């Protein structure tokens, strides 16, 4: 090595690079002007020679090349180029035939660009938004992004690892050698970035992170848009940005007055060998939702998750390839939208997979989780808990939710595990109180408020559902009023209470009728969506039918009755039952009625929309109640027979007038044994249930009927008044 070149070398810095402990390799590697020349340094461990080629920017425009000098036998090279600006150049790296780990490796020649000739790409303002927690699109800043930069095609890699000693990107493009592409730290922001020429879409990669204690770990990219299903969890370089779909509605509707009927599915139940789960769902689910008349479909988590459990997420930006591709999921959403069905997706910001290779101890510290296991680990589900006091964690989650909505045109998100988020002692015996000594997770509650505020500001038509089993107040109140800002709360108590009641043998239901009105003590506290036999409950207690007693026909009638009760009960609807031919006709009829009758969907969270008529008739095991609006002509009367025998049941009614049966769960069309009665019943003056008027109905065992109130016409009313007067007033008869 010539003396001038030797004097220009920073040998301590070179050693830092060789030992792969460098966070600022761009200050040494790549081109650096030295007067009228350029000092070029490169590190290719294990190589035998390096030639650099560049294009002469003078009159000739020819290709110049020179063999670089070996500065260190570990593979460090240097050379002075006779130009101030070599422009784009190429390294030709030769690896001679050699023995390594008992294997004979063939001679290899590698041609590549130099990552370290490029200046910083990510704007400081974007990094600031991320670290401050104010970015809705951090995935467009961090992660991997194919681009053309400084006349070269390649991929920009960027990751946040503030406590790492060194971060490298590794893949087939560098033989998974973490010494080669050591990334550049951006000041004290904690962001590392590197533009690697020649890396194209579809290539697998990981980040190799050297901790402060000198441990070396490989992990996936937290912001990767695609991940592979290898045993080692790997990220995949994304191609073009995913196209953004539009939701069914871009304007916020008044959900209190809108029918919302949701069909819940587990995408993993559609996995088979013939086609992807998303493709199969596109064939089957779209048809079922259209035929049943659902307004929405709720799809379980689709993000890349642990093999142990589908709700333990490994990557918050990548679709699980076990289900299919992101393009296939986008096609599914588009096809559901084409038949008027909105898409609500499960999203789990409450905990993540505890497996190595994803988010756990990402940079050697609890970057995403609390490092204290009392705060950062949930032993009951073997998962890690997010640290919501971190701006970057909140921004990571905020960007994840926003990307899902933006990319796939989602109509709603169901936030899974909100109770676990909000309470520090959830399923714990050893926990850390908040600064006030209480059990509320103040940071998590603040995050939920911020998320709901920001996401609805960006996507005004989005429905936000809290999967919450807690007694926390104000879940569906506006953030401005001190609430959390959700649109709907998952009402698990409704299903638990009903399951407890319907599980009794019909002989004993009369004595337990109090379980039904008890549920109305909380029915109007929040704006609820009622989960009925949803997939969580199915996994927990088995199929709904296993709860019921009796023969097959009796069980089927109880299922029909239960679905009818769900649609008659105040609250938005969600079903997760297996849909069979009879179910399709029944659910289609219920959904049609739900949409058509204002009393069934207007102001469902208003206690004025509901009124008990009879709920304590233990002898007959029958109940009756009213659903109504401000307009008496919208009023519906529901009569339910929970017993195992046909009965004549009399119930009080609110108004004098006619009551016409419009629906029964025992209809032959749904697998029952009767049909809607054509008899129009007139209320009589017999007092019952605190009412001056009542009607009598014949109702089949374990079934429900719905009657619509029809006011008298003026002519009919005059006749009724005349009859009443005549019945109570003596009339003088003339004597002969």
Report the CATH number that the domain containing residue 658 is assigned in CATH.
2.60.40.1180
* Predicted pLDDT of residue 238: 80
Please give the tally of structural domains in the chain: 3
Same-domain pairing of 87 and 130 = no
Question: Could you say which of 116, 138, 159 is where a domain stops?
Answer: 116
Same-domain pairing of 511 and 546 = yes
Same-domain pairing of 631 and 496 = yes
- Any idea which residue has 């490169």 for tokens? 42
Report the CATH number that the domain containing residue 227 is assigned in CATH.
2.60.40.10
* Predicted pLDDT of residue 538: 46
Token pair of 452 as six digits? 């709901």
Whether 56 maps to a domain, the answer reads: yes
* Predicted pLDDT of residue 307: 85
* Predicted pLDDT of residue 231: 63
Same-domain pairing of 616 and 734 = yes
Domain coverage including residue 148: 118-236
* Predicted pLDDT of residue 526: 93
Global confidence as pTM:
0.92
Whether 705 maps to a domain, the answer reads: yes
* Predicted pLDDT of residue 541: 44
Whether 334 maps to a domain, the answer reads: no
Question: Could you say which of 220, 236, 252 is where a domain stops?
Answer: 236
Whether 150 maps to a domain, the answer reads: yes
CB 532 within 8 A of CB 573: yes
Cα 88 to Cα 112: distance, rounded to the nearest angstrom:
11
Whether 667 maps to a domain, the answer reads: yes
Which segments in the chain show pLDDT lower than 70? 1, 58-61, 230-231, 240-243, 250-253, 533-542, 577-582, 735-736
Same-domain pairing of 677 and 708 = yes
| pLDDT 10s digits, 20-50 | 999 999 999 999 999 889 999 999 999 999 9
Same-domain pairing of 105 and 179 = no
The torsion defined by the Cα of 587, 590, 593 and 597, in degrees rounded to 10, comes to -130
Same-domain pairing of 608 and 691 = yes
Burial of 609 from C-beta contacts in 10 A (0-12 / 13-18 / 19+):
buried
Whether 208 maps to a domain, the answer reads: yes
Same-domain pairing of 518 and 634 = yes
In sequence order, the 6+-apart residues with CB closer than 8 A to the CB of 84 are: 33, 36, 37, 38
Same-domain pairing of 542 and 647 = yes
Length of the chain: 736
| Helix, coil or strand: residue 40 | strand
Same-domain pairing of 81 and 14 = yes
Strand-strand pairing, 383-385 and 377-378: antiparallel
Same-domain pairing of 622 and 700 = yes
* Predicted pLDDT of residue 627: 97
Same-domain pairing of 129 and 81 = no
Closest CA to 705 of 634, 651, 657, 629: 651
Sign (positive or negative) of CA dihedral 111, 116, 119, 125 = positive
Question: Could you say which of 116, 145, 171 is where a domain stops?
Answer: 116
Whether 485 maps to a domain, the answer reads: no
| H-helix segments, 369-422 | 373-376, 391-408, 418-422
Whether 34 maps to a domain, the answer reads: yes
């Amino acid at each position: 090595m010539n003396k001038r070149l030797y004097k220009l070398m920073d040998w301590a810095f070179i050693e830092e690079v060789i030992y792969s402990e460098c966070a600022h390799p761009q200050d040494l590697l790549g081109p650096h002007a030295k007067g009228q020349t350029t000092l070029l340094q490169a590190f290719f461990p294990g190589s035998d020679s390096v030639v650099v080629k560049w294009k002469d920017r003078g009159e000739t425009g020819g290709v110049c090349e020179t063999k670089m000098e070996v500065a260190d036998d570990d593979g460090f090279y240097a050379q002075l180029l006779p130009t101030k600006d070599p422009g784009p150049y190429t390294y030709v790296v030769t690896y001679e035939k050699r023995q390594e780990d008992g294997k004979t490796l063939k001679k290899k020649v590698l041609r590549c660009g130099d990552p370290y000739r490029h200046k910083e790409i990510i704007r400081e303002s974007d990094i600031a938004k991320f670290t401050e927690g104010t970015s809705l699109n951090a995935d467009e800043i961090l992660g991997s992004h194919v681009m053309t930069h400084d006349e070269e095609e390649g991929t920009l890699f960027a990751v946040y690892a503030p406590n790492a000693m060194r971060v490298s990107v590794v893949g087939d493009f560098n033989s998974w050698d973490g010494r080669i592409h050591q990334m550049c730290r951006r000041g004290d922001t904690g962001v590392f970035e590197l533009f690697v020429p020649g890396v194209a879409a579809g290539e697998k990669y990981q980040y190799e992170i050297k901790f402060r204690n000198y441990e070396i770990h490989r992990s996936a990219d937290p912001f990767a848009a695609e991940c592979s299903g290898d045993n080692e969890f790997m990220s995949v370089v994304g191609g073009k940005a995913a196209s953004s779909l539009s939701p069914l509605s871009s304007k916020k509707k008044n959900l209190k007055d809108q029918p919302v009927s949701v069909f819940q599915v587990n995408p993993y139940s559609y996995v088979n060998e013939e086609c992807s789960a998303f493709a199969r769902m596109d064939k089957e689910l779209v048809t079922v939702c259209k035929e049943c008349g659902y307004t929405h479909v709720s799809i379980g988590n689709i993000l890349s998750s642990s093999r142990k459990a589908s709700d333990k997420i490994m990557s918050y930006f990548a679709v699980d390839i076990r289900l299919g591709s992101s393009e296939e999921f986008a096609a599914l959403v588009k096809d559901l939208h084409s038949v008027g069905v909105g898409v609500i997706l499960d999203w789990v910001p409450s905990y993540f997979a505890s497996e190595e290779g994803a988010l756990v101890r990402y940079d050697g510290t609890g970057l995403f989780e609390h490092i204290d296991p009392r705060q950062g680990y949930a032993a009951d589900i073997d998962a890690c808990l997010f640290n919501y006091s971190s701006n970057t964690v909140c921004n990571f989650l905020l960007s994840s939710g926003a990307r899902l909505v933006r990319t796939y045109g989602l109509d709603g998100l169901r936030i899974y595990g909100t109770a676990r988020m909000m309470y520090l002692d959830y399923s714990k015996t050893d926990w850390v109180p908040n600064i006030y000594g209480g059990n509320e997770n103040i940071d998590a509650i603040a995050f939920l408020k911020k998320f709901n505020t920001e996401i609805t500001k960006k996507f005004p038509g989005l429905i936000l559902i809290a999967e919450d089993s807690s007694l926390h107040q104000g879940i569906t109140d506006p953030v401005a009023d001190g609430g959390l800002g959700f649109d709907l709360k998952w009402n698990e108590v409704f299903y638990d209470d009903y399951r407890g009641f319907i599980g009794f043998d019909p002989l004993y239901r009369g004595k337990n009728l109090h379980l039904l009105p008890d549920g109305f003590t909380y029915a109007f506290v929040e704006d609820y969506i009622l989960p009925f036999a949803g997939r969580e409950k199915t996994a927990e207690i088995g199929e709904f039918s296993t709860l019921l007693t009796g023969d097959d026909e009796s069980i089927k009638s109880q299922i029909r009755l239960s679905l009818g009760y769900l649609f008659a009960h105040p609250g938005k609807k969600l079903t997760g039952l297996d849909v069979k031919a009879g179910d399709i006709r029944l659910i289609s009829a219920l959904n049609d009625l739900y949409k058509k009758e204002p009393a069934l969907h207007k102001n469902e969270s208003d206690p004025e929309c509901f009124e008990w008529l009879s709920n304590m008739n233990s002898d007959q095991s029958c109940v009756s109640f009213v659903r109504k609006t401000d307009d008496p002509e919208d009023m519906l009367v529901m009569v339910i027979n929970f017993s195992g025998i046909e009965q004549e049941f009399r119930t009080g009614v609110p108004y004098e007038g006619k009551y016409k049966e419009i629906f029964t769960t025992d209809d032959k069309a749904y697998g029952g044994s009767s049909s809607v009665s054509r008899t129009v019943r007139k209320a009589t003056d017999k007092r019952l249930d605190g009412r001056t008027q009542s009607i009598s109905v014949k109702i089949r065992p374990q079934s429900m009927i719905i009657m619509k109130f029809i006011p008298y016409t003026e002519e009919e009313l005059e006749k009724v008044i005349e009859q009443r007067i005549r019945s109570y007033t003596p009339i003088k008869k003339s004597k002969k």
